[in-house]
Amino acid sequence: MNGFNMQPILQNEKVVMYPLRENDFDDLYSVASDPKVWEQHPNRDRWKKEVFTVFFEGALKSKGAFKVVDKESGKVIGSTRIYDYNDAEDCIFIGYTFYGVSSWGKGFNLAAKKTMLDYLFRFVSKVKFHVGSDNIRSQIAIERLGANKIAELEVAYFGDPVPRLNFEYEISKEQCKKTEQ
């Protein structure tokens, strides 16, 4: 993937996505500390500081995580990640995404995902997503992008030895172009 950067600064009219750094912990935890954010997630206790700390460490180690900032207010509203590039399948994943409740339903996730897809489709032909089997909000959001459910699998999360049932979704460059028309 010539010229590919796992953590570019990405932006559009609604959000700016900056590479996640150690000094972002407090701002991001202030968003993640609300139990409602995690109520449909496979790791429902991620709002607890000690659990979120493990998640945050994994995000930093991934070298593909972002903090998402509301472009208008300048406030941190969530996080997302690029991970698991697969050369043989010509694909990469987007996931580990969460937003604060005050950001829900305002188009931030859609804007961020479309910008990430525009960037990633310069380098791969498919993008995949893992979504918890009980995470209806995220399943709906991913389907609105035009992604299709292609598999059900057990996924182990960083720092959590218990695999959780996830649905795998996929969108191709061609599908993405069709949904934009």
pLDDT, tens digit (0-9, with 9 covering 90-100), for 155-169: 777 667 778 889 999
Q: How far apart are CA 33 and CA 178, in angstroms?
A: 38
CATH top-level class of 10-180 = alpha beta
pLDDT at 2: 78
The structure's pTM equals 0.91
Provide the residue ranges of all domains of the chain, joining segments of one domain with +.
10-180
pLDDT, tens digit (0-9, with 9 covering 90-100), for 142-151: 998 999 999 9
Query: What angle, 0 to 180 degrees and rounded to 10, lies between the N-to-C axes of helices 25-32 and 49-62?
Result: 130
Q: Which residues of the chain have pLDDT under 70?
A: 158-159, 177-181
pLDDT, tens digit (0-9, with 9 covering 90-100), for 94-121: 999 999 999 999 999 999 999 999 999 9
